[in-house]
Chains A and B, each alone.
Chain A
Amino acid sequence: MERFGFVFLVAGLGFFVLAFAISAWIPMLPVAHLEVRTVEQMAAVPPLEFIELKEQYPEAFAKAFGDKPIEEAFAEALRIGHKTYIGEACWHCHSQQVRPWGNDEAQYGQRSFPEEYNNELNMPPLWGTRRIGPDLIRRGGFHSNDWHVAHFYHPPDVAPVSVMPSYHWFYEEDGLTPNKTGLSIIAYVQWLGSWVDTRQENIHGARAIEAAYPAPNLIRPEPPVKAPVQQDDGGMDDGHGEDDYGYGDEDDEYGY
């Protein structure tokens, strides 16, 4: 009994609580001051892709979201898209984090930073642990809505070696028009990373990196084959600033 009590209290409870404090509670402290944003806050300024989606599929859109204001429709689409993203296990084959190593930045763009995950749609965060397909956290606007509509229906049609499953149930009977789920998942995927400045001069977050590491002869990687998209900031409080993203900077660019 003495042995049992000792094992129960020290190993069972004590060490667990100690580890929780060290591995979970202390790492929470540096980001504890960040505001947790709601879906409505983030949906205040829908990205261009969502507005385009409404124009491309007016009937399906009206059927799915009625005649709600575009912000409310976007908030609803984000929630449904997020639930679909989880329920279909998208997050088991696509990560949502750009690491600071392994050439992730050259492939996908600016490295991940804490602020962008502090919101309702990252409870729990969808970082993922496997990349069969590409990372998605910088992919909003990378492909057109049309591409996504074709892709979700049968991915090998647009990417022949793709091993992504087909999602026929994202479509109306005709197999051409996305239904509510389809519109929502496209809205969600097109939203990912829309808060990051993807303008040509800030490809890969180059300005942030330059500010952090002011090397005289910085060799930038070649920009990806992508037309510069003038994007809305997709719900982050303020517009794109002139300098870096406040990653460890005094400037409170994101309004936190």
Chain B
Amino acid sequence: MRQILLGDESDNPKPALTGGAHALVNDKLVKWHLVAAIVWLGIAMIGGMLYSLQLLQHWPLPRIAVLSPGRIRMIHTNMVAFGFLTNAFFAMLNWTVPRLTGRRVASDLLGWAILGAWNLIVLGTYIGLHLGEAQAIEWGETPVWIDPLVVVGAILVAIQFYTPIIRSNERSMYVSLWYFSAAFVWLGLTYIMGNFLPQYIVAGNQAGPLLGLYIHDLVGLWVTPMGWGMMYFFVPIILKKPIWSHALSLVGFWGLAFFYPLQGVHHFLGSPIPMFAQYSAVVTTIAIEIVVTTVVINFFMTWRGSEGSLRDSIPIRWFWVGALNYLLTCTQCAFQVTLTFQQVIHFTDWVVGHAHLVMFGVFTFWIFGMIEHLWPKLTGHEWWSEKLRRWHFWLTTIGLAFMVLALTAGGLVDGFMAKGLVPRETILTALRPFWLTRTFTGLFILTGFGCLVVNMIATARVARRAHVDVDYAPYEVLEEQTAGATA
């Protein structure tokens, strides 16, 4: 395994890594998944921005049913989960799995089919939500007539990436592959459990735990293992040294696999779900927050000794801040899940802040780190503007920090006022400054994202001009050109 990671990506013997029809990795597929991810993220961010304006009583698009704020709120979360994160993870899988196994994915054609099918699913969801066809499942508002397609998509993805893992003769699997191997099963099972059972089979109090499990498992059993696998692959590659402890990463894996699926009910503490289920969710949640810390420890111990990378390498900055946010999230989680905290924060913006800290502050930051690392390799050209890279990083980091602070503080104000029987009208007045802050931090993040998009497009254009006669740049060319340069 050391060999695969340290031998670096360029001197893997056969087949050639990139370029040509028989390359190990289909770079174009990686590139297009990333492009799709960025497009959906842009839509999601604009949606979030618009929705924050509604909370300030300044809705810019009145009287248009399809652009109703509530519908846009659901678009915001769904495009993040299925449009952005999932597309980015597919890009990541196409890049990493063949490298880790030394085998090609099942089929190039299937790869393109997955790209098309998955983005059709996301587009269908997007249109369905605009038309008011939502399903009453948080993070799974995908209209019921699209649900079966998502399951088919998940099965295709499993076939595509299980093939190289099974064919591989590697004696020991690198930890990223452990996460991926489990996550493909989990994605399908979670989706079936969360979108079909409570819709067609069980009702009310029987269906409640399933909703909690679905919300939680989508994050915990799809986004989290993908994110961890991604981090464990790219950080050692960028730092050019192995992870600190393979054993610790496996402790993290088994901890995640065992404890994560047990916690879903903690999204409905105080509901009529039997208390034994609520207590078991609380206990297992506190347990996993300890396990999750292994990832953070592993990251920082790997990074130790390469402190300069924080200054020299922008990808590492993203991973570093993401890991720090992860530490914050874990700590926050272990406390907020207790019934004492729940009395106050359950129905407030605290939870919204927490969701942004995890989904944006950790996993999106890590994906930005991956894009920072991959885009030059995919286009065959260095980043167009160093300045924009830094602007993107700082605007996003500052924006997110203040957004989470504003939402957390606003959540506490909301929670304590509600518990103190303050009328709703007074609470809304009190929350206004927090929501105003949130809108401004959103502007920061959106501007930062604009920097990234401009930089990506410009890089691709410059690259195209630089290699007029080849239809795409093999990234070995880049390796030669920029030998010695930072990642």
Contact = CB atoms under 8 A, between A and B. Distances in A.
Interface of A: 1, 3-4, 7-8, 10-13, 15-16, 18-20, 22-24, 26-28, 30-32, 34, 36, 83-84, 86-93, 95, 97, 99-104, 106-107, 112-114, 116-120, 122-134, 156, 159-163, 165-169
A90 B70 contact: yes
A124 B205 contact: no
A16 B74 CA distance: 27
B137 A124 contact: yes
Nearest to A86: B136
Contact of B270 (A100, A165, A166, A167): A100
- Residue among B136, B172, B253 with max Cβ neighbours from chain A (10 Å): B136
A1 B71 CA distance: 45
B261 A19 contact: yes
B425 A159 contact: yes
Contacts of A167: 68
A3 B250 CA distance: 12
Interface string B262-301: 1111011111111011001100000000000000000000
Contacts of B181: 4, 7-8, 11-12
Nearest to A154: B62
B486 interface: no
B211 A125 contact: yes
A76 B443 CA distance: 44
Contacts of B351: 129-130
Given A12-B186, A165-B69, A165-B70, A102 B204 contact: no
Interface stretch (B13-21, B108-116, B193-201, B327-335): B193-201
B153 interface: no
25 contacts: A4-B177, A11-B253, A12-B182, A20-B261, A23-B212, A23-B277, A26-B276, A84-B132, A89-B74, A92-B73, A101-B342, A102-B270, A103-B419, A103-B420, A117-B205, A118-B203, A123-B203, A123-B207, A124-B135, A125-B205, A127-B268, A129-B138, A130-B348, A159-B425, A168-B65
A169 B56 CA distance: 22
A124 B211 contact: yes
Contacts of A7: 173, 178, 181-182
Interface in B181-230: 181-182, 184-186, 189-190, 193, 198-200, 202-213, 221
Nearest to A135: B347
Interface of B: 54-57, 59, 62-63, 65, 68-71, 73-74, 131-138, 165-166, 168, 172-173, 177-178, 181-182, 184-186, 189-190, 193, 198-200, 202-213, 221, 253-254, 257-258, 261-265, 267-274, 276-277, 280-281, 339, 342-344, 346-348, 351-352, 415, 418-421, 424-425, 428-429
Contacts of A162: 425, 428
B264 A23 contact: yes
Contacts of B185: 8, 12-13, 16
Contacts of B168: 1
A193 to B, nearest CB: 14
A11 B254 contact: yes
Nearest to A91: B136
A27 B70 contact: no
Contacts of A123: 198-200, 202-204, 207
Contacts of A120: 203
Candidate in A88, A122, A125 with the most chain B CB atoms within 10 angstroms: A125
A87 B211 CA distance: 17
A219 B348 CA distance: 29
Contacts of A125: 198, 203-205, 207-208, 211
Contacts of A128: 347
A106 B419 CA distance: 9
A162 B426 CA distance: 10
Contacts of A23: 209, 212-213, 261-265, 277, 280-281
Nearest to B197: A24
Contacts of A32: 206
Given A24-B209, A124-B207, A125-B203, A89 B73 contact: yes
Contacts of B339: 101
Given A101-B339, A102-B344, A92 B182 contact: no
A129 B68 contact: no
Given A84-B132, A97-B272, A114-B204, A168 B63 contact: yes
A102 B346 contact: yes
3 nearest A-B pairs in the assembled complex, by CB-CB distance = A89-B70, A117-B204, A87-B132
Contacts of A127: 208, 211, 268, 271
Contacts of B54: 163, 165
Nearest to A124: B198
A94 to B, nearest CB: 10
Given A27-B277, A101-B270, A122 B204 contact: yes
A166 B207 contact: no
B168 to A, nearest CB: 8
Given A87-B133, A117-B204, A129-B351, A165 B182 contact: no
A107 B270 contact: no
Nearest to B262: A19
Nearest to B138: A129
Given A23-B277, A87-B71, A87-B134, A16 B207 contact: no
Given A3-B173, A90-B70, A107-B421, A114 B272 contact: yes
A27 B280 CA distance: 11
A96 to B, nearest CB: 10
A107 to B, nearest CB: 6
Given A11-B254, A134-B424, A119 B182 contact: no
Given A122-B207, A134-B424, 17 more contacts: A10-B257, A13-B185, A23-B209, A23-B212, A24-B209, A34-B205, A88-B70, A89-B68, A103-B421, A106-B421, A119-B204, A124-B199, A125-B211, A126-B136, A165-B68, A167-B68, A168-B63
Contact of A161 (B198, B254, B421, B429): B429
B71 A36 contact: no
Contact of B210 (A1, A24, A134): A24
A254 B254 CA distance: 45
Contacts of B200: 123
